[in-house]
Amino acid sequence: MRVLVVGAGALGGYFGGRLLQAGRDVTFLVRPRRAGELAAGGLKIKSPLGDFSIPHPPTILADRIERSFDLILLSCKAYDLSGAMDSIAAAVGPETLILPLLNGMRHLEALDERFGRFHVLGGQCVIAATLDAERTIVQLNDRHTLAFGERNGVLSDRVRAAAATLGNAGFDARLSDRIVPEMWEKWVFLATLASATCLMRAPLGDILSSPGGGELIRGMFEECRAVADTAGYPPSAAFLDQALAALTAAGSPLTASMLRDIEAGAPIEADHIVGDLLQRCSAARADRAGPSLLSIAYTHLKSYEARRSRTAVRP
């Protein structure tokens, strides 16, 4: 398969780099600045599982795409989705598969509307990675899983072909027959983690050691779980046990990447991760009074966005 990886940042650069390292046919769709960086210094990855670099990774600009790709790995942030869809339009042919790695569910609706549901797989990844000051991709832990599948659960020939391309490439690639429920489970976990750690401006361990911290985290988790239940995707018992254990582990240094973005003064995915879940929760909270914990967290995130926009340095 000819693979187009949208972006060469922390996620796209890592998974695309591993695919290139394994000899797959990969091209990075990048902006001019990133194209220049990669041409000058190559793609560099630091990882607990082994450092590697690729001197001259194949790149292309959106206006240079002349033919379609078989598989598009979409790893942009949610607030960049509209521009990313514009950039890949020329790369989408009659049989192209789009594998988005965004969190939440709203992006599926946008991709379906733009390109048609036929083209859009379900997908998610589990990895902690960032770009450092030297524009090197730094993997922060030893987990690098990419799960994907048809959204109706069918193990089709085309998704098996994608699995053959993504498999045995230096990361854990997993073909799933229940990818949408798994995406909902991750969303429940991530929305809880982001809401709690951003609202409290602290990792889980510090929140848990503070008065009321455990109740706050458990309350947020329960609200998020109830939304998934109402939407028809109740999380499995095994997920609930594992997620709650991770969220309430004493001394945990875990934070959401959204908190790291806030601390860096960067844009955040407030609407996609927390706001969209909140919009879906009215039925789940029909018998409750007063603001939810999730709504308080969302107001906090939107206040950050408003302040960031108001104080931005403008030309």
Structure tokens at 105: 């569910």
Paired sense of beta strands 145-149 and 92-100, if any: unpaired
pLDDT higher than threshold 70 for residue 99: yes
Q: From CA 193, how far away is CA 90, in angstroms rounded?
A: 37
Same domain, yes or no: 155 and 19: yes
Residue type, 100: P
Tens-place pLDDT, residues 206-228: 999 999 999 999 999 999 999 99
Establish if 171 belongs to a structural domain. Answer: yes
Establish if 315 belongs to a structural domain. Answer: no
What is the span of the domain harbouring residue 256?
182-310
DSSP label of 234: P
Same domain, yes or no: 57 and 165: yes
Looking at residues 21-38, what average pLDDT do you find? Answer: 95
Structure tokens at 112: 């379906």
Same domain, yes or no: 147 and 247: no
3-state secondary structure of 284: helix
Same domain, yes or no: 128 and 210: no
Establish if 170 belongs to a structural domain. Answer: yes
| Model pLDDT, residue 123 | 97
| Model pLDDT, residue 12 | 94
Last residue of a domain, which of 139, 160, 177? Answer: 177
Tens-place pLDDT, residues 232-256: 999 999 999 999 999 999 999 999 9
Same domain, yes or no: 217 and 278: yes
Last residue of a domain, which of 156, 177, 198? Answer: 177
Same domain, yes or no: 214 and 160: no
Same domain, yes or no: 111 and 252: no
Q: Say which CATH number the domain at 303 has.
A: 1.10.1040.10
Q: From CA 30, how far away is CA 83, in angstroms rounded?
A: 12
- Tell me which of 44, 46, 77, 186 is the catalytic residue: 186
Q: From CA 130, how far away is CA 158, in angstroms rounded?
A: 31
Last residue of a domain, which of 177, 211, 246? Answer: 177
Establish if 122 belongs to a structural domain. Answer: yes
Same domain, yes or no: 133 and 68: yes
Based on the residue annotation, tell me whether 302 is a catalytic residue of this protein.
no
Same domain, yes or no: 241 and 306: yes
Looking at residues 150-159, what average pLDDT do you find? Answer: 97
Looking at residues 18-35, what average pLDDT do you find? Answer: 95
Same domain, yes or no: 131 and 242: no
Same domain, yes or no: 173 and 189: no
Q: Say which CATH number the domain at 41 has.
A: 3.40.50.720
Question: How many domains, the chain?
Answer: 2
